[in-house]
Structure 1
Amino acid sequence: MSILLCFLCLLPVFLVSLSIFSIKLKPSKWKLPPGPKTLPIIGNLHNLKGLPHTCFRNLSQKFGPVMLLHFGFVPVVVISSKEGAEEALKTQDLECCSRPETVATRMISYNFKDIGFAPYGEEWKALRKLVVMELLNTKKFQSFRYIREEENDLLIKKLTESALTQSQVDLKKTLFTLVASIVCRLAFGINIHKCEFVDEDNVADLVNKFEMLVAGVAFTDFFPGVGCLVDRFSGQNKTLNNVFSELDNFFQNVLDDHLKPGREVSESPDVVDVMIDLMKKQEKDGESFKLTTDHLKGIISDIFLAGVNTSAVTLNWAMAELIRNPRVMKKVQDEIRTTLGDKRERITEQDLNQLHYFKLVVKETFRLHPAAPLLLPRETLSHVKIQGYDIPAKTQMMINIYSIARDPKLWTNPDEFNPDRFLDSSIDYRGLN
């Protein structure tokens, strides 16, 4: 209600701004994508009903796979087809590779000092190159294998104990704890089962706050130049800042823990250790691009946001689908017992290469339940054409993976969980096809 009152009070300001924006008319020769009719000032905000990805899918079925919406004064193109996505992400990648700046992403990226939300530019390219070479290489991934296997063994032990005592298991919480434990150990070097400043419940609360921050609606994002007044008077700025403050406190504790005098670095240093070591080397070498504390926190933020909840959600959906489809579950169980033997106490990462039907289940889970139904928004750097439509510069672009993965033109019975559809298929979830 307070937001509405503020909006009404500032209505004259919006009307003036509207007249200014309306002067910037697009050339009539441009063929803009179709879309629902807009209302004055709010554009298509009234069309947003329910979850964004399902809403966009419903609208695209009426207006087409390349659709133009206006969120306030901000033009947004939603792409819901395989062909359109390929043009935007591959053919026109260099012109569609930047990120829009929003209030929330500026906060969690520490003023765009990360990789996930930072606009395209020289600093982003230098940071991405450094992270890929030093943090995301195959050697580093393999060095953390023992962490993944130790946490999986701990999970199996707890589930076994619950089975013997016939105790109920909160599967959602159990899988979340598994993923959070792995990510926090390999990235931050902290064991959430023993850490002084964070535990299992705290991590869950922090992830929820992260989602709240990312999903936080700021009028500034929809009404550049004037929306900040509504955010200030409505208290939205204060709310977002309070949430971010808790997250920043956690990241600062992680850094302080690594910078303690006399702290010993293990033979397999975590991500934060590697970045701190890189900062020290850059100080000596005098390189042009230098990591800062904000870069460190920005990367930590990316890992925490992208690594924990996405993996936990995917595991939950996989288990849910196996439970709902006993035929598929039995095939997975039979494959494991036949291929690896009944007496195997544990499955290693090397064993996964022999489990072919299991991989089909993974592919089908990714297809039907993508962890990010909408890819991170992009922003065009210049005028481009997508599927024959003109997309002006500075237009936000959203790729609706959810819609593509359920397109009946691409998939038979797209809403059905059926791993067998990937038999003899070249489609690869690593993005190599």
Structure 2
Amino acid sequence: MLRKVSVTELLSNKRIESLYGIRQREGCKLVQTIESLVGIPIAIHDYVNATLFDILSGMLWSGSLVEGAQKQIKSDFRMFSQKLVDLCGEPNISDVFPFLAMFDLQRKGNKMKKLVLWFDKIFDQVIEKRLQMKTVENMDFLQVLLQCRDQVDQKKTPLTITHIKALLQDMMLAGTKTSSTTLEWAFAELMQKPHLMKKAQDELDQVVGLDNILEESHLPKLPYINAIVKETLRLHPAAPLLVPRRPSESCVIGGFLVPKGTKILINAWAIQRDPEYWDNPLEFRPERYMDSTNDCDYRGTNFSFIPFGSGRRVCVGVPLAEKMIPYLLAKLLHSFNWKMEEGAKLDMSEAFGLELVKKVPLVVIPISR
């Protein structure tokens, strides 16, 4: 039920289009913020992450909080979400020896309980403020969920405040962490190959014009920008191991029997670097998607390119991600030139875990165009 509500009320193409004003507003704010920092080294991930939080919170619970409370929640959420991702990505001896889980030898269970309480506090505040409001101007996602809670048969299809908090948390984590990581990797690759950045900016200048404002409606006319995003997701999928699957029936794959119910982890990172399917797989080359015969899309129809998974359980956020990520990348490339600090070396090493992030955060200097 929650997946169906998410798709129809938040992530349908019609709904996403209707919420473009939020993305446009926050994208312009991001540009204005960075304009005030021209010539100053900045950690690009931090600014993009903050913008994505504002976009998603505007879509999920717009107008529920005063500005001060919203800023505090943004700060808390970023800190706690990073702790959660780090904790989930660390090795856990209980995964190898399940009988040790009851002893919590690494104190992971205790740490996770504290994180759950922190997230509960954040979303309790959001929901409590909404319930106190006498009128709601916009029918946002939180309001839809609260109305569903009041209308459904709780015995047949339970929908509690706990379910709502869990869904909001999932939406915020998936939408902010993965997208900001992807954009940071895109910038890192472009800093390594400045001629590709110049090519993207030339496309933007030709389609949008240097003195005009970039809109989402320009994206279909920006194939090279979209190719950069695809190539970034190929080399640096935010989730290198896709969400675990379990086969409903026993099957044989590559001569190996996979029993029914076996937990399967799909290594998208390795698949998308496989030389059997990709020419020069370790080279960042957006041009590979400019060929009309290339059939890579974000729905996983080509099994060599599956950054969002594939099949019925493909990531529900694909329609939003394929708008937000290219839009913010294009916005930043259209508004600024970028360079590294004097004498700085670009470190492209990866920190493996639940999320594939840069080991060393990217620090760049924006320059007015």
- Fold shared by both chains (TM-score > 0.5): yes
Q: TM-score normalised by the shorter chain: which range applies? A: 0.7 to 0.9
1:134-179 residue CA offsets vs partner (Å, 9 max, x unmatched): 332222211221111100000111112222xx33322121111111
Structure 2 counterparts to residues 2-41 of structure 1, below 5 A: none
CA contact (8 A) 1:335 1:357 kept: yes
Which of 169, 173, 190 is residue 42 of structure 2 equivalent to? 169
Partner residue, 2:136: 265
Question: Could you tell me how far apart the structure 2 residues matched to 1:234 and 1:384 are?
Answer: 36
Among 102, 109, 130, the alignment partner of 1:229 is 102
Match of 1:426 in 2: 295
Match of 2:162?
Answer: 294
Contact 2:274 2:281 in 1 (8 A): yes
In the alignment, the residues of structure 1 paired with residue 108 and residue 211 of structure 2 have an alpha-carbon distance, to the nearest angstrom, of: 57
Q: Which moved more, 1:374-383 or 1:209-218?
A: 209-218
Q: What amino acid maps onto 1:391 in structure 2?
A: V
Instruction: Please name the residue that 2:191 is paired with.
Output: 323
What's 1:360 paired with?
A: 227
1:253 Cα offset (Å): 1.4
Kept after mapping to 2: 8 A contact 1:175/1:312: yes
Deviation at 1:321, TM superposition (A): 0.9
Shift of residue 235, structure 1, vs aligned partner: 3.5
Q: Cα distance 1:200–1:312, how it changes in 2: closer, same or farther (>3 A)?
A: same
Stretches of structure 2 that go unaligned for 5 or more consecutive residues are 303-369
Q: Distance in 1 between matches of 2:89 and 2:61?
A: 25
> Is 1:239 matched up with 2:111?
yes
Which of 129, 133, 136 in structure 1 is aligned with 2:4?
Answer: 129
The alignment status of 1:385 with 2:236, answered yes or no, reads: no
Instruction: Write out per-residue CA displacement over residues 171-202 of structure 1, whole angstroms, 9 at most, x where no aligned residue.
Output: 12111111122122212336899241624432
- Answer yes or no: is the 8 Å Cα contact 1:210–1:305 preserved in 2: no
Residue 336 of structure 1 aligns to a residue whose secondary structure is helix
Contact 2:207 2:218 in 1 (8 A): no
Q: CA 1:420 to 1:178, structure 2 compared with 1: closer, same or farther past 3 Å? A: same
Amino acid across the alignment from 2:115: V
CA distance in 2, matches of 1:211, 1:234: 16
SS in 1 for 2:252: strand
Instruction: Name the CA distance, whole Å, in 2 between partners of 1:325 and 1:383.
Output: 47
Superposed CA RMSD: 2.3
Give the CA deviation at 1:431: 3.4
For residues 311 and 375 of structure 1, what CA distance do their matches in structure 2 show? Answer: 16
What's the TM-score, normalizing by structure 1?
0.64
Q: What are the residue-to-residue correspondences of 1:85-96 with 2, within 5 Å?
A: none
**Aligned pair in 2 of structure 1 residues 430, 328: CA closer, same or farther (>3 Å)?**
farther
Describe the shift of the 1:192–1:308 C-alpha distance in structure 2 as closer, same or farther (beyond 3 A).
farther
Corresponding position: 1:348 with 2:223: no
**CA 1:192–1:367 in 2, change beyond 3 Å: closer, same or farther?**
farther
Q: Does the 8 A contact of 2:231 with 2:285 survive in 1?
A: yes
The letter of the residue matching 1:282 is V
- CA deviation profile, 1:36-75 (whole Å, cap 9, x unmatched): xxxxxxxxxxxxxxxxxxxxxxxxxxxxxxxxxxxxxxxx
Separation of aligned partners in 1, 2:203 and 2:123 = 42
C-alpha distance after superposition, 1:351-386 (max 9, x if no partner): 111111111111111111111111011223442222
Q: Does 1:308 align with 2:181?
A: no
Alignment partner, residue 326 of structure 2: none
Task: Give the number of equivalent residue pairs.
Answer: 299
Q: Which consecutive aligned stretches of 4+ in structure 1 deviate over 4 angstroms post-superposition?
A: 190-193, 216-220
Return the offset for 1:398: 0.5
Preserved CA contact (<8 Å) 2:65 2:126: no
Equivalent of residue 145 in structure 1, options 2, 20, 38: 20
Q: Is the 8 A contact 1:144 1:186 kept in 2?
A: yes
| Contact 1:192–1:200 under 8 Å retained in 2 | no
Q: 1:189 to 1:214 in 2, by over 3 A?
A: farther
Is residue 2:287 matched to residue 1:412? no
Post-superposition Cα deviations, 1:323-373, rounded to whole Å, max 9, x if no partner, equal 1111111110101111222221x2110011111111111111111111111
My pick for the range that moved more, 210-219 or 243-252, is 210-219
Per-residue CA distance 1:216-244 (angstroms, 9 max, x = gap): 555544333x223321x653332221122
Aligned 1:191-210 pairs, distance under 5 A? 194-196=67-69, 198-210=72-84
Percent pairwise identity: 31
Contact 2:203-2:224 at 8 Å conserved across structures: yes
Instruction: Determine the C-alpha separation between the residues in 2 that align with 1:178 and 1:172.
Output: 10
Q: Is the 8 A contact 1:135 1:274 kept in 2?
A: no
Alignment partners' CA distance in 2, 1:329 and 1:369: 18
Find the aligned partners of 2:201 and 2:53 in 1 and give their Cα distance.
Answer: 26
Cα distance, 1:308 vs structure 2: 1.0
**Which blocks of at least 5 consecutive residues in structure 1 are unaligned?**
1-125
Q: 2 CA distance for matches of 1:306 and 1:147? A: 18
Q: 2:51 aligns with which of 178, 202, 207?
A: 178
Name the amino acid aligned to 1:266.
E
